Chains A and B, each alone.
Chain A
Amino acid sequence: MPSHTFVVYVEDRPGVLNRVASLCRRRGFNIESLAVGHAETPGVSRMTIVVETDAAGARRIEANLAKLVNVLQVQNITDVPTVSRDLVMIKVAADAAARAHLMQLVDVFRARIVDVAPRSVVIEMTGTEDKIDGFLEVLRPYGVLELVRTGRVAMVRGHVPAVRTGTAGEDTPADEATHSV
């Protein structure tokens, strides 16, 4: 099944992440990745959620997320041009001999070494998931000791209307409004 990427603006309040995750669980959707942090507007958080589902499932997720009272806006950005990135930190076994080779690879993949210890290094890289997966592939033979990824964050290219910040009862065009029904 294909993955779908959603950008979800939520009110920055305790428990909202739980509501979003709980909804996906209860409706039977498996979250591949979820990244959350502050958005451009104070009091608003932005989530990038990747879910494996078909087109009908994606519509259901979108409609159900929009119903959550704390959700301000949901966009399914799967089929629009986006910039999307994942950040990874990889601790790789590296004795003195291997280090030179690793540094070359790091260069080729435009990654960075951010920590060096006697028998390992920590490499940081941002990029699309594909590119990171490719990098990981070539690192495996050296011995990947630890790995952490943030999950996908994504942004639509070009100009898009900003997130709504109005209050209940205010009129907005139908295509912009999320319905909490």
Chain B
Amino acid sequence: MQGSPPIQAMTRTGAQILWECLLREGVTDVFGYPGGAILPAYDAMLDYPIRHVLARHEQGATHMADGYARASGRVGVAIATSGPGATNMVTGIATAMMDSSPLVCITGQVGSRLIGTDAFQETDITGITLPITKHNYLVTRADEVAPALREAFHIARTGRPGPVLVDITKDAQQASADFDWDAAAPRLRGCRPPAPPDPAVCARALELLNIAERPLTLAGHGLQLAGAEPALRALAERAGIPVATTLLGIGAFPASHPLNLGMLGMHGEAWVNQAVQEADLLVALGMRFDDRVTGNLKTFAPRARKIHVDVDPAEIGKNVRVDVGLVADLGAALAALLPGVLPVDRTRWLSRIHTLKGDAAVRDIQQLPDDGHLYAAHVMHDLWRATGGDAVVVTDVGQHQMWEAQYYRHETPRSLITSGGLGTMGFALPAAIGVRLARPDAEVWAVAGDGGFQMTMAELATIVQERLDVKIAVVNNGYLGMVRQWQEFFYGRRYVATPLVNPDFARLAEAFGIPAVTVRARADVVPVVRAVRARRGPALVEFQVEQEDSVFPMVPAGASLDEMIRRPSPIVETGADA
């Protein structure tokens, strides 16, 4: 069944209907792992022009689908069997939920008559995933497959995107039913597309915006989910408003733009955090005032009025009391605001921020002479230089993630893929596989710590089996570095359960069939990255970096944004301190 689909209803098995629906939803790639309860679906898959990537763990499959979705904006699809296959997906689903990533996860389930009997590999996956999915379905009949899948795709990508799970019993896959695509159109009575921006609310937002003397835009992930980056740029330039980004907002605004200040929050730039505290207006766009962004809520941006624009009404006023809450698609909201934005002269505020920055460029850790130490920050900076800033970088979670955010300058949307809300170690490698398939044109780098890499490194085999050109940087500091840093700062340097005895990463990669290099000196970073880029195909570079380095600045959990721990000399901070 390869040609164009017939118009009339046709009889198909539930398993065939599954693939018919995926085809019509535009799915070309799925990530999964087979097993008994999903076997009918796998068997039927052979007859459909869909690429299946065999992961080495179902968590990997969900992260792949997630990476695919984040890089492309399309719905990512993961598939697994019942019981342990389904429960292995849980971390990946929660990761996607926290970062609003559109996913459809398909699981096999035991036969419908066995449900509730503790049958072999039965698990209540719709119950388990209830709080970590946007919605989920248990499908027990073949004729329910198409409506459930169509609704699942609709829900996953509409409004604030998110993961949807469809659990299909084995007998529903095997039984036959009439397949009628049109008749299966979503009938979601409780589900509305976001309403257009309310003109009265827009007017109030504009009032605040046009009189603000020290405004600051906080750009979040929602801008990229909505494809509203050009509108953000237009707004910033027209109003002369500087832009700070959240971790997931990175890429929404070009790093090299003079109005881009960089990241705010726990490991944000010192001047950005200071500017937040001095601002008289915050324009929060598609971000949700996470505690990693705000620090102590009681002292957060004490002088600022707040405008919050988000597609999700439940986010307005959740963490921070706002003066104006505008619920709308980000693109529509900015388009509605833009004509009313007056060009106001804000040179005083911009020069104040410039002062806060100091001569950071000179003091930047990257500019220090090579003293024989290889700092992870060097690696990120040099990776940026050697790739021309053009790569899609997929990071894991920990210190290297923060250094990447600080030192790799992202110019384009969706060029940094990282687990923000859940902070899921093990994300980078599998997510990079998904990114690779979503963006065949792009250079893709997975950047992981020595700890997180080992959580999902089995996916190296997937890279080889699928012949994927993924470059991998393992930042080896011999520690669960971010946790070690907390132990250093807050637990009297008692390094419990953070030192790592690691495998030889280069030899490990080679055992999988992936060429690998180990880098120990700063001088080797750029040449090695260049050499690796010049060769098609996967490669792994292990960077053995300074072991006890810490990420600065740091706002301790619960402290005010301006109460930052700064980098002690002799390694000088990126900010305005000496």
Contacts and interface: CB of A to CB of B under 8 A. Distances in A.
Interface in B250-287: none
B313 A66 contact: yes
Given A69-B155, A169-B193, A181 B311 contact: yes
A71 B190 contact: yes
Interface residues of A, number: 34
B155 A177 contact: no
Contact of A179 (B155, B187, B192, B198): B192
A60 B314 contact: yes
Contacts of B327: 179
B189 A164 contact: yes
Interface in B312-342: 312-314, 316-318, 327
Contacts of B160: 181
Interface in A52-90: 56, 59-60, 63-64, 66-73
B314 A180 contact: no
A15 B126 contact: yes
B302 interface: no
B279 to A, nearest CB: 24
A99 B1 CA distance: 79
Given A11-B189, A22-B131, A168-B189, A181 B194 contact: yes
Contacts of B313: 63, 66-67, 179, 181
A56 B316 CA distance: 10
B103 to A, nearest CB: 15
Contacts of A157: none
A172 interface: yes
B318 A168 contact: no
A6 to B, nearest CB: 14
Nearest to B315: A63
Interface string A19-40: 1001100100000000000000
Contacts of A68: 135, 190
Interface in B512-542: none
Nearest to A172: B192
Given A18-B130, A181-B160, A168 B312 contact: no
Contacts of A19: 130
A56 B196 CA distance: 24
B191 A69 contact: yes
A165 B126 CA distance: 26
Nearest to B135: A69
Nearest to B162: A181
A18 B129 CA distance: 12
Interface in B153-197: 154-155, 158-160, 186-196
Given A64-B314, A67-B314, A168 B196 contact: no
A178 B130 contact: no
Contacts of B187: 167-168
Given A174-B195, A177-B192, A180-B192, A22 B130 contact: yes
Contacts of B135: 68-69
B192 A178 contact: yes
Nearest to A71: B190
Contacts of B318: 60
A67 B190 CA distance: 8
A10 B190 CA distance: 8
B192 A69 contact: no
Given A15-B126, A174-B198, A181 B158 contact: yes
Interface string B109-141: 000000000000000001100110011001000
Interface string B473-507: 00000000000000000000000000000000000
Contacts of B138: 15
A172 B191 CA distance: 11
Nearest to A74: B190
A166 interface: yes
Contacts of B311: 181
Contacts of A164: 189
Nearest to B161: A181
A161 B381 CA distance: 60
Contacts of B134: 69
Contacts of B198: 174
Contacts of A72: 189-190
B194 A179 contact: yes
A98 B494 CA distance: 72
Which of B127, B187, B193, B198 is packed against the most chain A CB atoms within 10 Å? B193
A165 B134 CA distance: 21
Nearest to B132: A26
B102 to A, nearest CB: 12
B188 A181 contact: no
B159 A181 contact: yes
Contacts of A18: 127, 130
Contacts of A73: 190
Contacts of B151: 69
Nearest to A170: B192
Contact of B196 (A15, A23, A174): A174
Given A22-B131, A179-B327, A181-B313, A168 B195 contact: no
A70 B194 contact: no
A125 to B, nearest CB: 35
Contact of B190 (A22, A56, A178): A178
Nearest to B138: A15
Nearest to B311: A181
Nearest to B316: A63
A172 B195 CA distance: 9
A48 to B, nearest CB: 18
Given A60-B314, A181-B159, A69 B130 contact: no
Select the residue from B127, B190, B327 with max chain A CB neighbours within 10 A.
B190
A114 to B, nearest CB: 36
B130 A179 contact: no
A169 B195 CA distance: 11
A55 B138 CA distance: 36
What 4 pairs between A and B have smallest CB-CB spacing?
A: A181-B159, A63-B314, A174-B195, A168-B188
Given A23-B131, A72-B190, A181-B160, 18 more contacts: A10-B190, A15-B126, A22-B131, A59-B317, A60-B314, A69-B134, A72-B189, A165-B189, A166-B189, A167-B186, A168-B187, A168-B193, A169-B193, A174-B195, A179-B195, A180-B159, A181-B158, A181-B194
8 contacts: A63-B316, A67-B314, A69-B135, A69-B155, A69-B188, A71-B190, A172-B192, A174-B198
Interface of A: 10-11, 15, 18-19, 22-23, 26, 56, 59-60, 63-64, 66-73, 164-169, 172, 174, 177-181
